[in-house]
Amino acid sequence: MAQVLEFRLPDLGEGLTEAEIVRWLVEVGDVVAVDQPVVEVETAKAMVDVPCPYAGVVTARFGDEGSELPVGSPLITVAVGAPASDPDAQNEGSGNVLVGYGTSEAPARRRRVRREQQVPVPVNGRSAPAEVVEGPVPVISPLVRRLARENGLDLRELTGSGPEGLILRADVEYALRAAASQEHQAPAPAPTVVPQATAAAPASTPAQTRVPLKGVRGAVADKLSRSRSEIPDATCWVDADATELMRARAAMNAAGGPKISLLALLARICTAALARFPELNSTVDTAAREIVRLDAVHLGFAAQTERGLVVPVVKDAHARDAESLSAEFARLTEAARTGALTPAELTGGTFTLNNYGVFGVDGSTPIINHPEAAMLGVGRIIPKPWVHEGELAVRQVVQLSLTFDHRVCDGGTAGGFLRYVADCVEQPAVLLRTL
């Protein structure tokens, strides 16, 4: 006789207490195996699959896509020991259900019932099911699918601008703006003549769009607000001649082997500077009124994704060389873009490197990533007039900025840190003293 077991949303760790259901991966009646992902959820840290620790037949699901569930809430019920045609199904639970991690040595393949989906399209301002042409839609991001679904947009009518026709969030947003523009251009009804004696009608309320502060956006808002309210920050900046740094990188990459990224070289400079100025690799314990200096450098870096800004963390960056840093930056960046970062990869940073130059800007005064004590900002590197060896020349110039917690150090320490970073950018050989 089958035993019905209830699987609840597991403890997500890292202080996370709730998650939003993005997409169900199983239907009621589906056969699931141990460790098979059953639902895709979005937390304030990352988007991950939740594996089920039981094998059997799904008898119930709890929660609709788009709804938020607190940790401990029921997700599904599974009839264990029920007759099933799947020979791979097992009747023992794995006991390990951490989000973002497999619960067995080999990941179980998904067994899902393929079914034709209906995409709602607007009809007189309301959503109604529409017939969908069969065939795959080149969409990877669940957020893109959800954005289209919530706005009644048929993805099969779009042409993606991504690689191999991949539909991106920008494609969906463009289509929605185009649809809204067409609605505004619709013929207006004939105006009604109002006698002058009649009082003027009140001005119409401007159109509004309300975006819930939840998920990643909500977590970022809370963290930035806390940083602004708790940390007395200050910013200093300096221009530096990055010509020699760019030449050094070109020479390193011309020698063969794995390519070294500019971000990796800047990270190597940061860790060397923090070894000289450890005050900036610290945090403030407000309850104990103590500054806690940290031995290891866990370097966070800002990464812009479709889900918004995230800050993956390179653990033990101080112990890595430029090649190892390049590889880890590449791995974490790709995981950020696909929403595959785990909570552990998004927390624990001690210092942040923010390369906002990729957005084509020179400078910024960023908000410190609480509870860290400092952030180094790097602007774009562009040709500018520069006095080099007593003569005016065109050099590759970059603006560097340091935002720091004034409780952990004074301006002299912050200025010394930033000046050392600039010296390494201008003369990469300075780094040899720390190797």
Q: Is 370 a known active-site residue? A: no
Strands 119-123 and 351-354: unpaired
Stated length of the chain = 435
Which member of 298, 318, 370, 406 is catalytic?
406
Residue 344 half-sphere exposure toward CB, CA atoms < 13 A: 5
Structural contact between residues 24 and 57, judged by C-beta atoms closer than 8 angstroms: no
Return d(Cα 154, Cα 407) in angstroms, integer: 53
Residue 320 half-sphere exposure toward CB, CA atoms < 13 A: 24
Q: In whole angstroms, how large is the CA radius of gyration of the chain?
A: 27
Angle in degrees, CA 315, 341, 150, rounded to 5 = 155
Task: Kindly state the DSSP code that residue 196 receives in the 8-state scheme.
Answer: T
Return d(Cα 32, Cα 112) in angstroms, integer: 9
Q: Which two tokens stand for residue 73?
A: 């809430």
Mutual orientation of helices 411-426 and 243-254 as an angle, nearest 10°? 50
Q: Which two tokens stand for residue 251?
A: 């020479």
Q: Is 99 exposed, middle or buried (0-12, 13-18, 19+ CB in 10 A)?
A: buried
Contacts of residue 65, Cβ cutoff 8 Å, sequence gap at least 6: 21, 22, 23, 24, 146
Q: Is the peptide bond before 371 cis (omega within 30 degrees of 0)?
A: yes
Closest to 8 measured CA to CA, from 82, 78, 64: 78
How many of the other CB atoms lie within 10 Å of CB of 263?
A: 19
Task: Calculate the alpha carbon distances from 37 to 104, 262, 342, 432 in Å.
Answer: 12, 37, 15, 49
Structural contact between residues 240 and 425, judged by C-beta atoms closer than 8 angstroms: yes
* E strands in 184-269: 233-241
* E strands in 110-228: 119-123, 126-130
Active site residues: 406
